[in-house]
Amino acid sequence: MTSTSGYAFRCTLAYGDIYGQILVWLLVIFLSLAAGMALMGATHPVAGIAVIGLIFVLSLPFLMFAFVTTLFSHVALDEQS
């Protein structure tokens, strides 16, 4: 039986793991900005600002959830001998 001196946390997250998430979120943000600007130009400035704010508020929790779950799935607990 071997004795261990403890455990070490190791993060295996690479930039490529979250690259797709960043691209999708940026696409959502730019589309919402375009929609908001179109509404502002179409004599609906309050609706345009509301659309921009709504998209930001609704997309941020999903972005944070995606990043956190991706990070947690790339944390490894290694046994130190």
Note the pLDDT tens digit of each residue in 36-72: 888 777 777 888 788 888 888 888 888 888 888 888 8
- The reported pTM is 0.59
How many whole angstroms separate alpha carbon 66 and alpha carbon 61? 9
**Predicted pLDDT at 67:** 83
**Predicted pLDDT at 14:** 82
Q: Is the pLDDT of residue 1 over 60?
A: no
Asked if residues 57 and 36 have their Cβ atoms less than 8 Å apart, the reply is no
Q: Is the pLDDT of residue 2 over 70?
A: no
The residues spanned by each domain of the chain are: 17-80
Q: Is the pLDDT of residue 4 over 70?
A: no
Query: If DSSP states are collapsed to H, E and C, what string results for the chain?
Result: CCCCCEEEEEECCCHHHHHHHHHHHHHHHHHHHHHHHHHHHCCCHHHHHHHHHHHHHHHHHHHHHHHHHHHHHCEEEEEEC
